[in-house]
A and B are shown apart, each in its own frame.
Chain A
């Protein structure tokens, strides 16, 4: 090729290359006019609320400008916009005071996750095949509206149902109004490891159906029965702040912390004294302490008031709960019982806390009432004391959860006669994953296959979303208006609100606005009076009294990120007038005989993934669990002596079998667990939940028996017995400690 030919050829290929580029968005570089103009290279600060757990921590979002890839009118290019870069705790927020937990720090990955659903989808393959195709929002909303319209026309309003995670925002209020005005039953809330037993117990003991707020910072004694107060439970950031100050915030005074649990949790590791009691006997131990305190004469039975009267034998000083009897029942030495009782009564203010596994036994309610009575006995309950209840803002109270449970819904669907129209024609699913989170014995997946039409608002394809017929992806929390009423963590009534911190990255829509649009098309007899969700939140906030210097609570909330009730706090409501029925201790019942199934099985809420809803975030997958240093895996914790007896060494693949299921996971030798207990974190074992979590590890929920707390009917998730056996195969345990050289040499 001579020079002339070369120039000719390259001109032609050059031209055709640039022509081809027009059809190939990858090769174009078109800069659209900026979506948002921010000072170059400088950060601006916006507010939000962390949505990952019910605590509702205030968030400060660091936003900087950046380029995102977009396709507009079929033309690909980039556009400048404001992007969230880092989340911090909001300094002035009453709950988290500028701090943020490990999960909140990783929450930014929810927005930028590569597997987020980027626009509405409609199922194409068989249900559950995971095959979807994109549809437009108009088509998607039209489809939902016409299905609901047909239901309404035929008088089948009862055929619309909704499942949601428990909501503490006004979205919960909107859902209630939407369903009510449509004529459908209230939404079913699903939260398998929820705290309903404790709320019920607090209602019985103190007249408040709420989780408590603890003044840990001012306490001298903290006695926790299984509560993961420094990890995942209730309002963990606010509790950690209080804990730090209880230890080192008061010169010359350091509070004592005692944790009662059969498996040492991250919280338990911080205790001065760790007391492994037999599972399900925590209430008995609490009453043993109460008896010793009353017997010593420091406190009289009447001091506990109503909370004490709920316990049989209380007014007579609980004769049945001698230290020796406590030792027989709980396995805690009698001298420890006496020591704890003495310290608890003498180091006031003293706080007793109960949560988690002790409430997930057949006698969970009794355990909770016993601890409530112990608190009341030493005068720790009430405003300004160790155990209080955050007042709820009048007019903004979160919707109480519906009467019906997911299991009842599943049964209704499964028990409908064959051939008849399915009782649930349209099911809306908001931000919850019962197919993963409910024990297989509840048959949720089977039930969903009998639902006419499933609509999910999920941002990710998870086990439940995979069964949907239509997916209407919600914004991430950073992309939408957020609001929240904390249940606990502060001394005054408050509500948080924040405008979106950034524009939506994808073609998503706020679930609340979608509901409002659908409602408009349905022509309710009593239409929803709000144009947008923002209208609704503003209207609701405007009923609150504005703080000084503000025209309305809504403006105050947007200015500062939250509104706080400045009025003097109203007294706690009186306890319910209902008859007091004293409860007697009943031994916890377990599924499976002790002969056949040697071990108590203790699933626990994961530091990284909570109930599994966060297993899709890569930072949390690679976060070494603090107690075990494990990453990217599931594991079964075994006492070293038990492991030796079974011939199991760390990393061996084991099979955990209950009467209801079997799972496989690697063994992890765990010094802080009772020899007859096996523990496993929740969160892994997703079949279908993004590239980071799918097919990884095992889900301990799959072996749980459908045992019930006897009074409330809640799932007794700690009441399953299991067996364990070593099996052939790769364990696949990954730990940070295992990778450190020194540890490796030691283990050889």
Chain B
């Protein structure tokens, strides 16, 4: 059985934000407008955090794409009274929209601030509704939502592999989350952590790898590869 995970190479990430809009387009994520955005109610499943260090002129700016970490010990799961947040066999922190009653306990428990709540019914001013991806449910008011690792693509790829591959397994690279597919500098790599030969397994084992807030014991499936610095020789 697969275990889905991601590696984020911070030395490649340029903060171009292609992933952010790709996620919107794939997952039917609505906009909320300026008034609600000001209250922190935007629906981004994936955001680029940015950190300033130092003072002018010795100033540095670092980017970090943050999405659901699909934790092994996810703090969001046990607090849900309706089992809307649950753990799949393949390691996804799944969200069952029609079980969710909107207690928002999960968002409070999440260490990464990656769960977003539908304070209103999403508005798709016609004909913007025609762009909606039929493979992904449109969520309604009162429902919590979050990154799914593009579960609709995972399911598609499984059906495809069963039909077309002799061993019925998904070939590494044939399945990409929307963010990884668009990522211009190839910083985001998605795949199966159970497959030791997959690109994501290789990168997750990197000496530069670390987990976001790993000390909390959440066991994220996302590994961040540290940004490197340059030595004069250019070699390491």
Contacts and interface: CB of A to CB of B under 8 A. Distances in A.
A276 interface: yes
Interface in A706-737: 734, 736-737
A61 B20 CA distance: 18
Interface string B171-197: 000000010011111110000000000
Interface string A657-697: 00000000000000111110000000000000001000010
B165 interface: no
A343 B232 contact: yes
A11 interface: no
A105 B16 contact: no
A41 B152 CA distance: 13
Given A66-B130, A248-B9, A240 B44 contact: no
A266 B131 CA distance: 29
A86 B61 contact: no
Given A88-B181, A252-B236, A672-B56, A623 B21 contact: yes
A180 to B, nearest CB: 39
Given A112-B131, A230-B14, A99 B34 contact: no
Contact of A68 (B32, B42, B130): B130
Interface string B126-168: 1111111110000000000000000000000000000000000
Interface in A55-100: 64, 66, 68-69, 83-89, 98-100
B199 interface: no
Contact of A270 (B9, B15, B113, B229): B15
B31 A241 contact: no
Contact of A622 (B31, B129, B228): B31
A186 B134 CA distance: 47
Given A99-B184, A623-B17, A114 B40 contact: no
Interface in A622-638: 622-624, 626-627, 629, 631-633
Contacts of B52: 671-672
Contact of B14 (A103, A221, A245, A267): A267
Contacts of A243: 12, 14, 185
A627 B50 contact: yes
A72 to B, nearest CB: 17
Nearest to B32: A622
Contact of A624 (B39, B44, B59, B62): B44
A114 B127 contact: yes
A739 B39 contact: yes
Contact of A631 (B18, B42, B48): B42
Contacts of A672: 52, 56, 59, 61
Contacts of B20: 102, 623-624
B47 interface: yes
Interface in A95-154: 98-106, 108-109, 111-114
Nearest to B232: A343
Interface stretch (A164-172, A418-426, A525-533, A613-621): A613-621
B212 interface: no
Contacts of B22: 100, 105
B89 interface: no
Contacts of B185: 230, 240-241, 243-244, 247
A69 to B, nearest CB: 8
Given A237-B184, A672-B52, A272 B230 contact: yes
B39 A619 contact: no
Contact of B229 (A41, A83, A85, A272): A272
A347 interface: yes
A89 B25 contact: no
A241 B182 CA distance: 11
Contact of A89 (B48, B182, B228, B230): B182
A255 interface: yes
B50 to A, nearest CB: 6
Contacts of A268: 61
Contacts of B129: 112
Contacts of B215: none
A670 to B, nearest CB: 9
A231 interface: yes
A108 B16 contact: no
A619 B34 contact: no
A535 B12 CA distance: 44
A253 B235 CA distance: 5
Best-buried of B14, B132, B186 by chain A (most CB within 10 Å): B14
A68 B126 CA distance: 10
B42 A673 contact: no
Interface string B100-112: 0000000000000
A741 to B, nearest CB: 8
Interface residues of B, number: 64
A109 B32 CA distance: 16
A269 B15 contact: yes
B211 interface: no
A264 B61 contact: yes
Contact of B25 (A255, A619, A621, A632): A619
B64 to A, nearest CB: 11
Given A101-B184, A347-B234, A85 B134 contact: yes
Best-buried of A236, A241, A267, A736 by chain B (most CB within 10 Å): A736
Contacts of B11: 247-248, 254
Contacts of B59: 264, 274, 671-672
A509 interface: no
A619 B31 contact: yes
A283 to B, nearest CB: 20
Nearest to A641: B56
A270 B22 CA distance: 22
Nearest to B23: A105
A255 B16 CA distance: 19
A631 B37 contact: yes
A380 interface: no
A269 B63 contact: yes
Given A68-B130, A236-B16, A505-B127, A86 B40 contact: no
A513 to B, nearest CB: 23
Nearest to A632: B34
A639 interface: yes
Contacts of A343: 232
B182 A254 contact: no
B142 to A, nearest CB: 20
9 contacts: A68-B130, A99-B183, A109-B128, A114-B125, A247-B12, A269-B61, A505-B127, A607-B16, A740-B40
Interface of B: 9, 11-12, 14-18, 20-22, 24-26, 31-34, 37-42, 44, 47-48, 50, 52, 54-57, 59-63, 113, 125-134, 178, 181-187, 228-230, 232, 234-236
Given A240-B185, A624-B47, 19 more contacts: A84-B131, A86-B133, A101-B182, A220-B234, A244-B14, A252-B235, A252-B236, A255-B230, A255-B234, A264-B61, A269-B60, A269-B63, A270-B15, A624-B17, A629-B50, A632-B33, A736-B47, A739-B37, A739-B40
Nearest 9 Cβ contacts at the A-B interface: A739-B40, A244-B185, A240-B184, A269-B61, A105-B21, A632-B34, A626-B15, A244-B12, A114-B125
Interface of A: 41, 64, 66, 68-69, 83-89, 98-106, 108-109, 111-114, 220-221, 230-231, 236-237, 240-241, 243-245, 247-248, 252-256, 264, 266-270, 272, 274, 276, 343, 347, 505, 607, 618-624, 626-627, 629, 631-633, 639-641, 671-675, 691, 696, 734, 736-741
